[in-house]
A and B are shown apart, each in its own frame.
Chain A
Amino acid sequence: MAGEPVEVGQYVSLARKALVNDPYLANAAIIGELTKLTLARSGHAYFTLTDNNGSIDCVFFGGNNSFISQEIKEGSKLVALGGIDVYVKTGRMQFKASRVQPVKSIGEMERIRQELIVKWREDGTMDRVRLEAPLIPKRLHIITGEGSAALADMERLIADRWPGFSYTVIPVLVQGSQSPGEIVRALKAAGKSADLIILGRGGGSPEDLWSFNLESVCKAIIDCPVPVVSAVGHESDFLVSDMIADIRASTPSNAIERVIPIKQELLALISQAGDRVDFAIDRIFSKQNERISNIVIRLSAAPMRGISNAKLKRSQIGNRINSAVDRFFMSQKNRITAFDSILTSTNPTRVLDRGYSMAINEEGIPITSVVGLKSGDSLTVVLKDGRVQTEVKE
């Protein structure tokens, strides 16, 4: 239902806002035939891109040089990178280009590819240190075509090797003019959170696979802080992305085989290690046990030898030791008896039995003098048959 009427300017402004804020429309590569090219004196280039189904006016501010240096003429096929805009005053929609590129023939594309390879061979990019895939990727990101056969293959193989394995899929266009931009964006996004990235695409014609030969895509792989597996096409396809990626897989399925371990095999390795630990420990302990029982046997044999030695000596020295020992025990016995009688006679309870009493302080120590006592101190008086609590008066 239409609401209150709004002013045209406001309406077009709103429409413009909606369009320029659409991330897809704001950042796109469009392909079409170049017509009505005007290179203005201001340096801006005005042109129209057309195909069988549509047409749009374009502007490339300061873009004259781009057209001149690339020798782009009317009638040629052109890719323009940029975003949509609306000129509110006229309500005219236009594409603001920031880059234009003629669509090249396969021969030209191959020449550019070879140049790229040579450049990266010479500057050492091809020999750069590659990142290693983690043994168990915990945050695997798969960048590939949505609903593609390649994705289906990879998904099936992962489920085979490790049921329940978790990973993330970022669907992108893997061919066409939008493809390079999407792959670059996906690599950048995945580079922030993944610990391993598979960039995959099934087989196709050389043109179909061309995104993976482009400098922008390959540069994004090189710059990615996370290891990237390039898994593009069939066994026989060899793309620049394969040359510069951290890991080259011949096909998407091969990528899975190379980076996703078989869970059962890992479990077997772990339990094997466990068995070996148990076995080694058992052996060490039975060895220790053996040593201990050896020592016990030797120990129990040792005093026996000592005793038989003593016996021998005794027979040699006669009864001298015997009587000396006897004497010693005798004297000890006497001393103990003496102590006992002294203790018995000094036992204070015996004195109490005779009608005396004893005063003790709180610590239970007998009080033998008035020195140190003061009025108010509490004393316990111990009698023959009990204790009384008292207090010092004077």
Chain B
Amino acid sequence: MSYAESMKRLEEIVAALEAGGTELDETLKLFEEGSKLLKECKNELTAAEGKVEKLRLEDVE
């Protein structure tokens, strides 16, 4: 799942949880999925960090 997809799904989960009315089982499942997505999103931010690279045209061809 891309970052954008993860955030979108997270938004759905938050909306579902906020609306309430889900069964306890479902609630726990949503909570678990939401926590997992939050962690993934945070990891995604770290993954974007690293170094700046300079490539010569001759080297990339």
- Contact status A277-B4, CB under 8 Å: no
Tell me which of A136, A169, A172 has the highest count of chain B C-beta atoms within 10 A of its own C-beta.
A136
- Contact status B4-A134, CB under 8 Å: yes
Question: Residues 133-173 of chain A: 1 if any B CB is under 8 Å from the residue's CB, otherwise 0?
Answer: 01111100100000000000001000000101111111110
Query: Contacts A277-B38, A280-B14, A284-B22 known; A168 to B54 CB distance under 8 Å?
Result: yes
Q: Count A-side interface residues using an 8 Å CB cutoff.
A: 42
- Contact status B38-A270, CB under 8 Å: yes
- Contact status A284-B53, CB under 8 Å: no
- Contact status A273-B10, CB under 8 Å: yes
Q: How far is the CB of A286 from chain B (nearest CB, A)?
A: 11
Interface residues on B, range: 35 or more
Interface of B is mostly: helix
Interface of A is mostly: helix
- Contact status B34-A277, CB under 8 Å: yes
CA distance A273 to B41 in the complex (A): 11
A-B pair count, CB < 8 Å, reads 104
Chain A residues near B57: list those with CB within 8 A.
Answer: 170-172, 182, 185-186, 189
Interface status of A190 (Cβ within 8 A of chain B): yes
Which B residues from 46 to 61 make CB contacts under 8 A with A?
47-58, 60-61
Chain B's closest residue to A285 (CB) is B27
Query: Contacts A135-B3, A273-B38 known; A185 to B61 CB distance under 8 Å?
Result: yes
Interface status of A269 (Cβ within 8 A of chain B): yes
Chain B's closest residue to A283 (CB) is B20
CA distance A32 to B53 in the complex (A): 36
Task: List residues of A whose CB falls within 8 A of some B CB.
Answer: 23-24, 134-138, 141, 155, 162, 164-172, 182, 185-186, 188-190, 193, 263, 266-267, 269-270, 273-274, 276-277, 279-281, 283-284, 287-288
Task: List residues of B whose CB falls within 8 A of some A CB.
Answer: 2-4, 7, 10-11, 13-14, 17-18, 20, 22, 24, 27, 31, 34-35, 38, 41-42, 44-45, 47-58, 60-61
